[in-house]
């Protein structure tokens, strides 16, 4: 089951790797930030899923809003000369690692419980 998101990821990657149309390179920092926000949402969703607290509306709206907000705020920061970019990287990165560690912990306790059941 864990392969499904990974496969989706690979498909999306391949779709956009096809040479379509290049964006102006000044978009690069905002796109990276949007990617980071997307990463955060997906891991947050997985975490909510494994904890059994998953809500599809929160998940999807979170993904869209976080992605747009991260890029938009970074752009605004660039316009007014404040590095909001750094704050976004810090917060999003921190949450990605937090979510990852929680997912890992959950799966570790699951597998150990399953082993106990089997034995």
Partner 1 sequence: MSSDRGKTWVFQVTALCVILGALLALSLRTQRQAANEGVPSRLPALRAAFSAMKQENIQLRKELADYKQRYEDIARQQAAGLTSTKSLEQTLNESKMLAGTVAVRGSGIVVTLHDSPKLDPTETRSDVIENYVVHDTDLRAIVDELFASGAEAISINEQRLIANSSVRCVGPVVLVNSVQVAPPYVIKAIGKQDVLDKALTLPGGVADALFLLDMIEVTKQRDLLVPAYAGSTRFSVAQPVISAKNKDNTRREK
What residue ranges bind partner 1 (CB under 8 A)?
1, 4-17, 22-23, 25-29, 31-32, 34-35, 38-39, 41-42, 45-46, 48-50, 52, 54, 56, 59-60, 63, 67, 110
Question: Which CB atom, from 5 or from 93, has the smaller least distance to partner 1?
Answer: 5
Question: Which CB atom, from 11 or from 76, has the smaller least distance to partner 1?
Answer: 11
CA distances in angstroms from 73 to 12, 37, 117, listed in the order given: 25, 12, 49
| In the complex, minimum distance from the CB of residue 101 to partner 1, in angstroms, rounded to a whole number | 18
| In the complex, minimum distance from the CB of residue 94 to partner 1, in angstroms, rounded to a whole number | 19
Question: Which CB atom, from 14 or from 80, has the smaller least distance to partner 1?
Answer: 14
Q: Are 36 and 92 in contact (CB under 8 A)?
A: yes
What would the two tokens of residue 49 be? 């899923």
Q: Which residues have C-beta within 8 Å of that of residue 40, sequence separation ≥ 6?
A: 66, 92, 95, 96, 99
Question: Which CB atom, from 56 or from 118, has the smaller least distance to partner 1?
Answer: 56
Q: Which residues have C-beta within 8 Å of that of residue 30, sequence separation ≥ 6?
A: 71, 74, 75
């Amino acid at each position: 089951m864990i392969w499904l998101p990974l496969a989706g990821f690979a498909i999306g990657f391949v779709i956009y790797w096809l040479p379509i149309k290049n964006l102006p390179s000044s978009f690069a920092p905002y796109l990276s930030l949007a990617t980071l926000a997307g990463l955060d949402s997906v891991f947050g969703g997985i975490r909510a899923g494994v904890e059994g607290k998953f809500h599809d509306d929160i998940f999807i709206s979170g993904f869209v809003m976080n992605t747009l907000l991260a890029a938009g705020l970074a752009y605004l920061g660039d316009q007014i000369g404040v590095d909001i970019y750094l704050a976004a990287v810090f917060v999003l990165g921190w949450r990605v690692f937090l979510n990852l560690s929680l997912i890992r912990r959950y799966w570790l306790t699951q597998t150990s419980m399953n082993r106990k059941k089997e034995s």
